Amino acid sequence: QKEVEQDPGPLSVPEGAIVSLNCTYSNSAFQYFMWYRQYSRKGPELLMYTYSSGNKEDGRFTAQVDKSSKYISLFIRDSQPSDSATYLCAKETSGSRLTFGEGTQLTVNP
């Protein structure tokens, strides 16, 4: 079993839709969870990180961690074509080492 599981999609939605991206993880030893966004031919860029359990909001983006069910979620409100990218969930594994999900490819259609 992979330490972080993520549905690779692809996911296609109309502009303005609410997008829900999800991951599950299997090791609770570390506390930081992240969402990265990766555009084609670019490196991943950090969208948000959360510590332990709970919600964190930043503009149209909300990250949620449910430690009891080992679930990580990212919600995108009012999705835009510019949100089209691959979204990667990640968790801290040890120190600077991150373990990533496979990534979900999202397309927002105008």
Partner 1 sequence: KAGVTQTPRYLIKTRGQQVTLSCSPISGHRSVSWYQQTPGQGLQFLFEYFSETQRNKGNFPGRFSGRQFSNSRSEMNVSTLELGDSALYLCASSLDTSGQSYNEQFFGPGTRLTVL
| Closest to partner 1 by CB, 14 or 41 | 41
CA 110 to chain centre: 22
The number of C-alpha atoms within 13 Å of 98 and in the hemisphere containing its C-beta is 15
Residues 6+ apart with CB under 8 A from 1: 26
| Closest to partner 1 by CB, 2 or 77 | 2
Task: Name residues contacting partner 1, limited to 81-110 (CB under 8 A).
Answer: 88, 90, 93-103
The CB-of-27 to partner 1 minimum distance in angstroms stands at 14
The amino acid occupying position 65 is: V
Contact residues for partner 1 (CB under 8 A)? 32, 36, 41-46, 49, 51, 88, 90, 93-103
